[in-house]
Amino acid sequence: MLPVPENRKISPSLVFFAISSVQIGVGALGFQRIIAKTAGYDAWISVIIAGLATNMILWFMYKIVELGKEDLGENHRYVYGKWIGGIFNTLFIFYFTTFIIIVLRTYIEIVQVWMFNDLNVFLFAMFFITLCIYIVRGGFRTVVGIAFFGVVVPSYLIILFGFTIPYSNFRHFLPILDHSAKDLIKASYQMSLTYMGYESFIIYYPFIKDKQKSKKWAHLALLSSTGLYLYTALISFGYYSEEQIQKYVWATLTTWKIVHLPVVERFEYVGIANWCLIILPNACLALWCATRLIKQTYRIPQRIGVYVVGAIALFIIPIFKSREQINLINNLLGSLGFVINFIYIPFLFICVWIVKKVKNKT
């Protein structure tokens, strides 16, 4: 691949928004129930453990691009060769395409359950994916610009969790460490699935200026996401009893029911509408990553690849209709994301390190 021109790169500080925007998605609306089922109210510890683990994986990503080539696709060819490297690239194309499908289908399900039961899945997906294609066609800087607004504009939602504090009972957390280490580790695994998305960093790394300066912003983004999830978990655990939180599929949305403003009676509707801006960078960045890999692997221009991936996502999304089907595909993607982040990325680092050593000796 040709070097990326300077006018197509982003400043190091924008890496913060690129990572933060993709980590906060539909998972933030209901992760509390999942981890509380495993580790009860000790699950807030698992939120921290999983968050720190993402920083460790990010360190591996930096080492991969510093020792080998500048992005994932080129590193696959560097380590495995052209043909096997192309197979691994194709697996990641599948992963990011599936990521788009899951994010959008889960959000549509939320809109259907909470607002419009008879919402046409195909039409909503068509308009949303068309918008994503339009944004990605504008280039990577446009995608990051949307990520910036996806973080900044809905940030006021964080403050509104404070409405629950007068009604919370933080004695729910006592006694601390009431669950086994096995439960905490299992809940950390489940929480790590919510943090997914930051692995896209290893694909857009060549588009960053002053790459060394980006390290602090990248790690800060992961720490801020961890802090946000920890804050949300603590607020939710304080407000709900353990039995209640295990019944609510979307505990964050249910929490917003307590918010009553002079001009808004049902604030959860506002929150759901605003969440569309939060998941938009999720889908756009995944679409950009998938088409970037298509360009590298099959020499198909991104301006064509976006239509191919968009069409695939559009026709697959309506297939999933029931909650069980959506849960199944969510779990499959979560397991795949865990393998990619916590098993494959360290393995690729070892492979790049070995190949680098061998080539230096020859």
Reported as a single tens digit per residue, the pLDDT across 65-118 is: 999 888 899 999 999 998 999 999 999 999 999 999 999 999 999 999 888 888
Q: What is the pLDDT of residue 59?
A: 95
Domain regions of the chain by residue span: 16-355
Return all residues near 34 (Cβ < 8 A) that are at least 6 apart: 190
Mean pLDDT across 232-254 = 83
Of 10, 124, 104, 119, the residue nearest 309 (C-alpha): 104
Confidence of residue 148 (pLDDT cuts 50, 70, 90): very high
State residue 241 phi and psi, 5-degree precision.
Answer: -75, 165
Q: How far is it, in rounded angstroms, from Cα 241 to Cα 246? A: 9
Sequence-distant (6+) residues with CB within 8 A of 356 are: 67, 68
Q: What is the chain's alpha carbon radius of gyration, rounded to the nearest angstrom?
A: 21
The whole-number pLDDT of residue 257 equals 80
CB contact at 8 A, 293 and 26 = no
Q: 269 pLDDT band (50/70/90 cuts)?
A: confident
Note the CATH architecture for domain 16-355. Answer: Up-down Bundle (1.20)
Helix (H), strand (E) at residue 253: helix 251-255
What's the pLDDT score for residue 319? 92
- Average pLDDT estimate for 264-286: 87
Residue 10 phi, psi (nearest 5): -110, 155
Task: Convert 4-37 to b/e letters by CB count within 10 Å (16 or more is b).
Answer: beeeebbebebbbbbbbbbbbbbbbbbbbbbbbb
Q: What is the Cα 142 distance to its own chain's centre?
A: 18
Nearest to 194 by CA among 165, 238, 225, 240: 225
Give pLDDT tens digits for 186-215: 988 888 878 888 999 999 999 999 899 999
Residue with tokens 């259907």: 112
Give the model's pLDDT for residue 1.
62
Weakest mean pLDDT among 16-20, 144-148, 320-324, 354-358: 320-324
Q: For the chain, what is the mean pLDDT?
A: 89
> Could you tell me the pTM of the whole model?
0.94
Tell me the per-residue pLDDT of 108-133, one tens digit each, with 9 for 90 and over.
Answer: 999 998 888 889 999 999 999 999 99
Alpha-carbon distance of 64 to 78, in angstroms, equals: 11
Using the predicted structure, report yes or no on whether residue 57 has a pLDDT greater than 80. yes
Write out pLDDT tens, residues 26-46: 888 888 888 888 888 888 999
Say if residue 346 is preceded by a cis peptide, omega within 30 of 0.
no
pLDDT tier, 283 (very low <50, low <70, confident <90, very high otherwise): very high
Strand partners, 10: 208
- pLDDT attached to residue 171: 80
Q: Would you state the pLDDT for residue 362?
A: 65
Which residues, 6 or more positions from 282, have their beta carbon under 8 angstroms from its beta carbon?
21, 22, 25, 99, 103, 197
pLDDT at 248 (0 to 100): 81
The position carrying tokens 């300077």 is: 6
DSSP string covering 257-312: GG--BTTBS-HHHHHHHHHHHHHHHHHHHHHHHHHHHHHHHH---HHHHHHHHHHH
What are 313-356's pLDDT values in tens digits? Answer: 999 999 998 888 888 888 888 888 899 999 999 999 999 999 99
